[in-house]
Amino acid sequence: MQLTQYLETDTENCPVRRTLDVVGEKWSLLILRDAFNGVRRYDDFRRHLGLSEAVLADRLRKLVAAGVLCVEPYREPGARTRSQYRLTPKGRDLWPVLLALKQWGDTHAADPAGTPLDIRHEHCGAPVRVEVVCGGEDHTTLTPYEVTVRPGPGARPRAH
């Protein structure tokens, strides 16, 4: 796509922008990272992330309202019923996004000691990677220079 075409398209309804409205804050992404790694309970999120109760409660509330997490009751023997947080199908669809961020971090912002989370395919033991592939028959891995971007059906002219 020519740059002038992009500059003439309104970005108010951009899906990247809308996604960032839901999960674009650091703590929200870290809550999701922990949820993908099995953290479910408020106290465990708080202990693991080390953030204030107010910030954690706010981010959890927003992720639930967005349909990314759901609240489920649980009860320890002899204790009152409490809530735990689970990823919804909508939340699980963010897994490749979190993996891509981890992959970028492992490459460009790595700890000298190596990655703290080694994610591997359970069946064969190979490392898991995020790639952009062609939706055609050959599923070729693509670079940003091998795609064409053009206005889609939701594109609107930019107001001047």
Question: How confident is the prediction for the chain on average, in pLDDT?
Answer: 91
Residue 69 · residue 63 · CB < 8 Å: yes
Over residues 64-68, mean pLDDT: 98
Over residues 135-144, mean pLDDT: 92
Could you tell me what percent of the chain has a pLDDT over 90?
77
- 3-146 is classed CATH 1.10.10.10: yes
Residue 10: per-residue pLDDT? 75
Residue 90: per-residue pLDDT? 98
- Where is 98: in which H helix or E strand? helix 95-108
Per-domain residue ranges for the chain? 3-146
Residue 7: per-residue pLDDT? 58
Residue 137 · residue 145 · CB < 8 Å: no
Range in 6-10, 19-23, 31-35, 106-110 with the lowest mean pLDDT: 6-10
Residue 53: per-residue pLDDT? 95
Is residue 30 classed as helix, strand or coil in its secondary structure?
A: helix
Length of the chain: 160
Residue 6: per-residue pLDDT? 57
Residue 96: per-residue pLDDT? 97
